[in-house]
Amino acid sequence: MAINGNNILILVDGSVVAGTKSNEAQVECDAIEVASPTNGIWASYIPGRRNWSVTSNWLVLSFTDIKRVLRVGASVSIRILGRGQSSNLIGTAIVQNCSFQFIRGNLATGSFSFKGNGPLTEE
C-alpha cells in the first residue's frame, strides 16, 4: 500500500533538515504460507509482520543539514503529512542510503531511503 502524502519531513535532533521534492511511503505485510505441500496445488497464507519504508527526493538547503542526514545507519524521525487529512503518520526509521548532487554553494538535491524501525502510527 502506498501512502499518498504531500509532504514528508525528516527530523534530526528535533529539527527539520530538508524540504521534499517527491516521495513514496510503502507499507507491506509478509505472507506466511500455511498450506501443506501435500494438500493440492493451491497455496494458503496468513498475514505476517508488517514493515514500512520511505524513498524521497529532497532539496537540501545547507551543508550542515547534509552532514546531519548523511549518517547512514542513523535513526531519524519521519513525519508524513497527508493531503487533506486531519492527522499525520509518524515513525522512527533507519537511514539506509543517501546520495547528493550539489547544485550551487550549499544548495543540493538528495535522494534518501529509510527503513521503518517499529510502527508507523497515527498522530
Q: What is the pLDDT of residue 3?
A: 44
**Structure pTM?**
0.71
Number of C-beta neighbours around residue 74 at 10 A: 12
Residue with cell 507499507: 27
Classify burial at 14, counting beta carbons within 10 Å of its beta carbon; exposed 0-12, middle 13-18, buried 19 or more: exposed
Please determine, for residue 65, whether its predicted confidence score (pLDDT) is greater than 90.
no
The cell for 96 is 539506509
What pLDDT, in 10s, does the model give residues 34-63? 988 777 788 889 999 999 998 888 776 666
116 has a pLDDT exceeding 80: yes
CATH match for 2-32+44-122 among 2.40.30, 1.10.287, 1.20.120, 1.10.3720: 2.40.30
Cβ(92)–Cβ(51) below 8 Å: no
Q: Where does 45-104 have alpha helices with state H?
A: 63-69
Q: Which of 3-7, 51-55, 112-116 shows the lowest mean pLDDT across its residues?
A: 3-7
The confidence band for 82, taking pLDDT boundaries of 50, 70 and 90, is low
